[in-house]
Structure formats: structure tokens, C-alpha cells
Amino acid sequence: MRALRALRRLIANKEDTTQVFEIMNALAGDSVRRGYLRMLEQVEGSRQAFLMIELADRLQDRAWLDALPSGSVGRAYLTFIDERNLSAYGLADESRKVADTEIEAAHPYAWYARRLRDIHDLWHILTGYRTDALGEACVVAFSLPQTRSPGFGLIAAGVALEAARARTGHPCARAILQAWRRGRRAAWLPGLDYEALMSEPLDQARARLGLAGPTLYDRIPVELRNALLTPA
């Protein structure tokens, strides 16, 4: 099965972002259409759907990011991407490597899929999970109830199983489960006004969206968060 092969490659090399998009493309099902229609049921979501802002273009605007207030979501995002040499366009380029993707199509559903792709790193900021292997798995688990995409479920379950097998003595698998629960309890993030959110103080945004407070992930040693998925 295409998705399982991609999952094995991803577990072997967490930096192979293309495999995430392979899995998501293979298992997207009806989740994109349903997510877009959910946006239309909300006041702000329907406004965003009408505007159809391409968030990758906005997040690539360095001058805009530099002008955002200190302590804001946007400045935290800027620090995040600078520390890791990441960019919104880089993530977009990875998504285009999937052979049969329609993510660049001129269609509202494709725009919604791009939106989910482009806010991934912002969800790292909002949830507090970093880009180590465990942090990525936690963001994926958080994303499952937010998007209802089975691809996120497969990735989260696969990494949680690897974490349980590692028997580290730390709550790695439970951290992934907790991330899924946080995704269920939090506000629905796909429909937010992200341009406005970027100017909001990070702590205030987390509290407003139901994402404040410590997590099991915070208790796990930094050096273990990648080591638990290192192939033998």
C-alpha cells in the first residue's frame, strides 16, 4: 500500500517531508472537501474562503514578519523558521514533489489544502511542539481531529507505536495521545484569520485557542525526542 510504504520511509528518515505529502495525498479521502465546507459555516471561516489569501505568500514576506510586535505569534514564527532555515515556499515545494497531487489546482478545495499545508509551522508555534521527531508526531496527532484526515492518523499511530517499542521510560507515546486530545479540545484552527493572529501576543493566542499549559512533551529530554526514532 502506497501510504504504508511512505510511512516506513518517513520513520526511517524524519527529514523526508515528501513522504508526509505522499501519505496525505493517498489517504485524503473526503477530508479536504468537508473541511472547506466547515469553513463556510463560520463567519470568519467564510470570510477567509471568500478572500482566498495564499498564506505561503504572506509567510514569505520578510518585511511584514519583521514589522510584527515583539512577543507576537508572528515574531515567534520568524525565530522558528530562522533557527531551522525553513521557509513557507520550501514546504510548498516539497508538497509539489508528489506525482499525482492536485494541490496547485485553481479550485477552492485545493486552496484549502494549500492553507492546511502552509499553516503547519504556525501550528508548531501555537502548540509548543518543536521539529524533532516526537514534536512532529505530536503536531500530526493534533492535526488529526482538526482536519479529520486519515493520513495524519496513520503517521501519528506509526510513530506512537515506534515510541512504545523503544521503551524509553518516558511518556513518548502518551505525549502523542495527549496531542490528539489537545486537537479535539482546542478551537478549530483552519478557519482563523491568520494575518490578524500573527500580531497577537503568543501567550494570549494560546490561551484564547485553548492551547495554554504544559504538556507531556515538555517533560521528555530533548536528546530523546529524536533518538527514539533512530533506526537500529
Cell of 172: 513518548
What is the tally of structural domains in the chain?
1
- For 155-179, what is the mean pLDDT? 86
- For 203-211, what is the mean pLDDT? 98
Angle at 229 between CA 127 and CA 211, to 5 degrees: 10
Parent domain of 47: 2-227
- For 174-192, what is the mean pLDDT? 97
Domain contains 232: no
The residue ranking higher by pLDDT, 129 or 95, is: 129
The mean pLDDT value of the chain amounts to: 88
